[in-house]
Amino acid sequence: MAKLVVAKNLYISYNSQPIIHDSTFSINSGDFVFLTGVSGSGKTTLIKAMYGEVKPKGILNIGGFEVNNISKSKLALLRRHLGIVFQDYKLIPEWNILKNVMLPLLIAGIEKTTAEQKALELLKKVKLSHKADKFPAELSGGEQQRAAIARAIIHNPVMILADEPISGLDEYSASLVMDLFTMANKMGITVIIASHSLPNEFNVKYRQLHIEKGYIYEMS
């Protein structure tokens, strides 16, 4: 299996306050990974390092890109191949939900009608078709979260980085979302989900990387 993420002696700090210590791990292409740890343990920080928003020390290689030492243009290129679900969703407030979900396809230069069709299909899967022309502020938190997940998946990224994607959702919405991630993973997309805990029922083979006191442990 090709290695998609390689971390060696990874160290991440804010203002010289260490969050992740000397950690070494790798993630293979096609893996389904839960990144667990209590609130404040560093899950979001590690995800941010993986898409180049936080600069770590040591080695962090994502799909052949060394994120420690990456040019702005290469970082933009890397991000085009990632599907990121931010903990605070980051939908564009001035755009309706349909256009928000279409965004990665528009960036990739996909023609508008095709992009629209694909976005509508995904909105249907997350039971949001009826909100396509609404703006993010007109949606509930859970609805915005589902729209953010549709946006992260729409361009068939190489890897999905999802930060607490089901934390605020009821059981039904959470299962819709997990079905989407499972479907993406079956298509070969690597999925990394940061979450306080593991889902109760989940019939997919997964790995658990657990962050505790700044160290990352392989749990399963």
Ligand X SMILES: Nc1ncnc2c1ncn2[C@@H]1O[C@H](COP(=O)(O)OP(=O)(O)OP(=O)(O)O)[C@@H](O)[C@H]1O
Residues that bind ligand X (CB under 6 A): 14, 19, 37, 39-45, 87, 196
Name which of ligand X, Mg ion, none residue 37 binds, using a CB cut-off of 5 to 8 Å depending on partner kind: ligand X
- Which C-beta is closer to ligand X: that of 8 or that of 196? 196
C-alpha–C-alpha distance, residues 220 and 202, integer Å? 14
In the numeric block, which tokens belong to residue 65? 């890109």
Query: Contact at 8 Å (CB) between 158 and 4?
Result: yes
CA 118 to chain centre: 19
Report, in Å, the least distance between residue 90 CB and Mg ion.
14
- Polymer length of the chain: 220
Strands (E), 39-132: 57-62, 65-66, 82-85
Considering only residues 35 to 94 of the shown chain, the ones binding Mg ion according to CB under 5 A are 43-44, 87
Report, in Å, the least distance between residue 43 CB and Mg ion.
5
C-alpha–C-alpha distance, residues 32 and 109, integer Å? 29
- Which C-beta is closer to Mg ion: that of 5 or that of 162? 162
Name which of ligand X, Mg ion, none residue 45 binds, using a CB cut-off of 5 to 8 Å depending on partner kind: ligand X
| Residue 42: closest CA among 188, 203, 194 | 194
- Which C-beta is closer to ligand X: that of 54 or that of 191? 54
Report, in Å, the least distance between residue 165 CB and Mg ion.
11
Residue 145 interacting with Mg ion (CB under 5 A): no
C-alpha–C-alpha distance, residues 26 and 107, integer Å? 29
Report, in Å, the least distance between residue 37 CB and Mg ion.
9
- Which C-beta is closer to ligand X: that of 52 or that of 104? 52
